[in-house]
Amino acid sequence: MLIARERYHFLMSLAVAVLVIAGCGGESRVPTYPVEGKLFVDDKPRGAAAISFNSTSKEVPSAYGVSKEDGSFTLKTYEDNDGVAEGSFNIEILPDPMSPTIAPPVEPHTLTIKKPDSGKLQLELKLKSSAKKDPAFMPPAI
C-alpha cells in the first residue's frame, strides 16, 4: 500500500511539473499587421512567386507569403493572413515551382515596416531584375 501511495505522489508531482513547464514556455508574440500587397518586377506584376520578409533582427519574426498571377499577396508570420511585424526586413523573391512562368532573380531589397495608423498595410513592392546571372535561371527556349 505504501508503494502505491508513493507512486501516486510521484506521478502527481510529475504531472504538475509538466504543466508548470508547459505554461512557462509559452510563445510571446510580437504584434503583426495585416498586409495587402502587390509585387512588381521591372514595373510589371511579378506573377506567382514565394515572398519572404527576412527579419534583420533576432527579436522580430520573419514573414512570408505567395503572390498570385496578378502580383497580389498577403503575408503570414504566425497564422494565415496575420501580416508582418514592425521592423526591418530583407525581401527575397523565389519563383513558384508550380508556376509555368520563369522569371529572373531580383536585386536585393530591404524594407522597413512601421505600425499602420489603422487597418491593413498597403504595400507595393517595386523591384528590379538582378543584373547578376543566376546559374539556376534558364529562360525558356523559343
Within a domain: residue 14?
A: no
pLDDT in tens, 67-113: 998 999 999 999 999 999 999 999 999 877 676 666 678 888 999 99
Q: Which three cell numbers mark 93?
A: 523573391
Grid coordinates of 13: 508531482
**For position 28, what pLDDT does the model report?**
87
Characterize the bridge pairing of strands 84-85 and 32-33: antiparallel
Residue 68 lies in a domain: yes
* pLDDT for the residue 101: 61
Identify residue 9 by its one-letter amino acid code.
H
Q: What is the pLDDT of residue 48?
A: 87
Which CATH number is 89's domain given? 2.60.40.10
Q: Tally the domains of the chain.
A: 1
Q: How far apart are the first and last CA of the chain?
A: 84
Does residue 25 belong to any structural domain of this protein? no
| 7-22 confidence digits (pLDDT tens) | 544 445 444 444 444 4
What is the spatial distance between Cα 138 and Cα 42, in angstroms, rounded to a whole number?
18
Rg of the chain, C-alpha, whole Å: 23
Mean pLDDT of the residues in the chain:
79
* Percentage with pLDDT > 70 across the chain: 68
Domain that holds residue 111: 32-127
What's the pTM value of the predicted model, to 2 decimals?
Answer: 0.70
Q: Is residue 95 part of a domain?
A: yes
Average pLDDT (35-52) is 91
